[in-house]
Structure 1
Amino acid sequence: MTHTLRNWLHFGRRQLRRWVLLAIATGMTLAAIGAVGWSQSEPITITFLVRAVEAQQLQLLADEFEAEHPDIKIDLVEGPNAADNVENLYTTSFLLGDSPYDLVYSDVVWIPKFAAAGWLQDLSDRVSDDDLSAFLDADVAAGRYQGGLYRMPFRSAMGMLYYRTDLLDEIGAAPPETFSDLIQASETIQETTDVPYGYVWQGLQYEGLVTNFVEIIAGYGGYWVNPETLEVGLDSEAGINAVKFMKQVIDKGITPAGVTNYLEEDSLRVFENGNAVFLRNWPYVWAEANKDGSPVQGNIALKPMVHAPDENPAACLGGWGFGVAASTSHPEEAWEVVDFFTSRQGQKQFALEYAYVPSRRDLFTDPDILAKFPHYEQLLEVAETTVPRPPIGQYAQLSDILQRYLSSALTDQMTPEAAMAKAAGESRRVLNSDRA
């Protein structure tokens, strides 16, 4: 009996040990399974701020990305519609530290400031020159700062000249190539038809006024600021002639006197209501002016901006792209999002769905896009003339200076010569003080 009990106890201890070891092993396995399950149910979240007007549109690509990458979630934070306000929110978050944003969905003019402040990662090692060659040159250039690449282009935009084909046909005139051509055609149509204005644009004291000026000074063969040397060209002959042209069309009544209060929508309204021959504006105008019920539907075309004889046309570059925040805890996942959105398929789908202009050159001649938007072939001609605004860290200050003095000249507070002399002087002081 005692021997039997001893054997049973020995057997029991061995079984107990096995059960304990099995329980431990089972527990570890369950814990591992649980950890995997937890990881799968809690994907990494990549967050960025977007203008409210574009957030719902970008959600289309965000949903597709998440379907293909179940381990990564995209959080699109809706911001104000004004780009300047979105920039301020990004800036504040980075200045305060511990920014919630992994990506920066960036206007072209933000990159120098954000890169200079150290808020963006250099993406040069993530993309080859061959990869970048598929994009429009100016879009790539706008993402560079002091040798680094801080923004991948997503959608492009550029200033261009829209014109009424029916009115030019009526007077037997070709689309204008020079500033003088535009003035002459405008005056002829104003004299011979009931169209009250020749040329409308954006003249309010804001960034839009700067974009108009950039195209005109380049059309006279000049420049605002040389980013390599930091030379200022505002008080050059080209700079003064640019202001004189803007003032001349107002003084002649070719442009409405109220243009000094015009935003993009104001100038579009005059044009699409049939009250102007020419309009300087952005790509979105095409769909708006050709919508059902528009008085000018089917009677408009577009081309690069006019210029001086023996000079080249220029289209001020706009558009948006993606930078990776230097402070992100998930740089690899953030890059996967950037790579997906800026891919050929991502840009093509976004263009087809919302009529935005892609930044990849071959999409302008893609058969599917041309079938829906045949004017993209003309857009490519414009896109090849794009020029960026100066990619310098002090851009916001210099833009404010230029806006103020352009507005002073256009509203008869200063002569073009005096306004550009003042603007150039203040701009040089800003640039030289930062170099000191």
Structure 2
Amino acid sequence: MKAWRGPAAATAALVLAAGCAAPDSGLAAARRHLAGRGPITFVQASDEAGVATRQVIEAWNRLHPDQRVTLRQFGDVDELHDNLVHHFKAEDADYDVLGADVVTIAEYAAHRWLQPFKGGYSLDTSPLLEQTVATARYQGTLYAAPFMTDAGLLYYRKDLVPRPPRTWRELRGYCEIARKRRMGCYAGQFAKYEGLTVNVTEAVAAAGGSFVKSDGTTPSADTPAAREGLSLLVDAYRSGDIPAEAITYQEEEGRHAFEAGKLLFLRNWSYVYPLANSDGASVVKGRFGVTTLPGVDGPGRTALGGQDNAVNVYSKHKATARDFVIYLQSPDVQRKLLVEQGQPPVVKSLYHDRSLLDDPALGYLGALERSIATATERPVTPFYPAVTQAISDNAYAAIKGGKPAGEALDDIQAAIRAATSEQ
């Protein structure tokens, strides 16, 4: 899973987020076409849809010739987000099922652009991981159907480290091993982009802090817990335990450094596991392990990634759309997407399937389930583009030493307050 690059889409989204009061048209549209059936369009970012996704859609179409699904893809999640917003504002029914990054659900739901799954239009979420269901809710209502998930994992050199670290103190205690071998100790995604928001959110959550309260609008960055969390990264960078070059790393730069034997520890997503064990250039094949992220007093907390599928409130074929999102959550479909496409499932039972757990290519499944079980979310707010930009800009300055951690958090607090007050 690659992190959503929300700041690139911030201009359009901030205009929309300035007024979260839902239009009456959204309320009226939610009552229409609930029994509508017919062909539908499923929109998704192109980097999230592989061959297995297309095969799953083809299988649906063979069984439902009068309710065929057409897949439409966009270059990346930013392009998808901006295109969806354009169609929503026009009350366009062309898109029916929307494959949305989990952090955009609050924004879309706040404007009542998504069909709520309630009453006669509800979904059975009991087979799904509870944490993934939480990403699909906004203010207590289910607005989306979890489809794929992901969580941050700690990759470590098991041939060099006697046991995986559970805390930041333990991790940094191992950095002497890296120094003796002239390796970098720890890296994540520390370039100034959405991935940094993810990493900082995880560090702050590890210390018990957050950036936005549960109402989605009140900032909570000016707390001792948030300062302790951000300081974990600031101090590690200042000491060299996070190497200087890691300030430029996104997901792929970190993966390549780890595969080249340049890092003792790497925070990254689950997709790294099979690649590090199969890439021809990887020197760490069979020499690394994977575990949960470190915390302050025990295991840390990851920020969930992934995609939720939602139904456009203006769709005219909502019954077909609902059946299709349920189909995409079925164990058989989820298994196929995991095995053939490496897509982490949202169905609980698959994490206990012995045939999957014994598959060497899926050796990360146990750690992934443990990470998801205690996961946090990136700030749940209709103002996410502004919030993530405030976090990444100021946290980047603090990590590089451009401003103290306390000042960076004060600036994040002020920026979030300013963004969420523009209603």
TM-score interval (norm. to shorter): 0.7 to 0.9
- C-alpha contact 2:40 2:70 (8 A) present in aligned 1: yes
- Aligned-residue sequence identity (percent) comes to 28
- C-alpha contact 2:50 2:341 (8 A) present in aligned 1: no
Higher RCO (C-alpha 8 Å, min separation 6): 2
Q: Which runs of 5+ in 2 are unaligned?
A: 1-36
Aligned pairs (5 A) from 1:100-139: 100-125=94-119, 131-139=124-132
Distance 1:197 1:312 in 2: 22
Query: How far does residue 427 in structure 1 lie from its aligned partner after superposition?
Result: 1.2
Q: Which amino acid aligns with 2:205?
A: A
Aligned to 1:141: 134
2:41 is the counterpart of 1:47:
yes
What do the CA deviations read for 1:324-365 (whole angstroms, capped 9, x no partner)? 000101001111111111112111111111121101111111
What do the CA deviations read for 1:30-85 (whole angstroms, capped 9, x no partner)? xxxxxxxxxxxxx93211222223334311110111112121111111210x3122
Q: Which runs of 5+ in 1 are unaligned?
A: 1-42
CA RMSD in angstroms comes to 1.8
Change (3 A) 1:230 1:312: farther
TM-score by length of 1: 0.84
**1:158 alignment partner, one of 151, 156, 159:** 151
Distance 1:347 1:112 in 2: 25
Distance 2:398 2:49 in 1: 38
2:335 is the counterpart of 1:342:
no
3-state SS of paired residue (2:202): helix
2:377 is the counterpart of 1:377:
no
Distance 1:349 1:337 in 2: 16
Largest Rg, 1 or 2: 1
Distance 2:157 2:292 in 1: 14
What do the CA deviations read for 1:379-413 (whole angstroms, capped 9, x no partner)? 21112121112222112211111111112212322
Distance 2:276 2:189 in 1: 17
Query: How far does residue 259 in structure 1 lie from its aligned partner after superposition?
Result: 2.1
Q: Which amino acid aligns with 2:143?
A: Y
Aligned to 2:83: 89
Aligned to 1:20: none
Aligned to 2:59: 64
- C-alpha contact 1:101 1:325 (8 A) present in aligned 2: yes
**1:73 alignment partner, one of 68, 75, 82:** 68
Aligned to 1:262: 249
3-state SS of paired residue (1:75): strand
Aligned to 2:345: 358
Query: How far does residue 375 in structure 1 lie from its aligned partner after superposition?
Result: 3.0
Distance 2:279 2:244 in 1: 29
2:398 is the counterpart of 1:403:
no
3-state SS of paired residue (1:174): coil
TM-score by length of 2: 0.86
What do the CA deviations read for 1:142-198 (whole angstroms, capped 9, x no partner)? 100122111111111011211110011xxxx32111111111101x2123324x200
Aligned to 2:273: 286
Distance 1:178 1:126 in 2: 46
Query: How far does residue 424 in structure 1 lie from its aligned partner after superposition?
Result: 0.8
- C-alpha contact 1:154 1:341 (8 A) present in aligned 2: yes
**1:193 alignment partner, one of 160, 181, 192:** 181
Distance 2:82 2:243 in 1: 33
Aligned to 1:295: 283
What do the CA deviations read for 1:276-325 (whole angstroms, capped 9, x no partner)? 0100011101011111532001111111111112x652011001121000
Aligned positions, number: 383
- C-alpha contact 2:106 2:382 (8 A) present in aligned 1: yes
Aligned to 1:236: 223
Distance 1:200 1:217 in 2: 16
Change (3 A) 1:179 1:126: farther
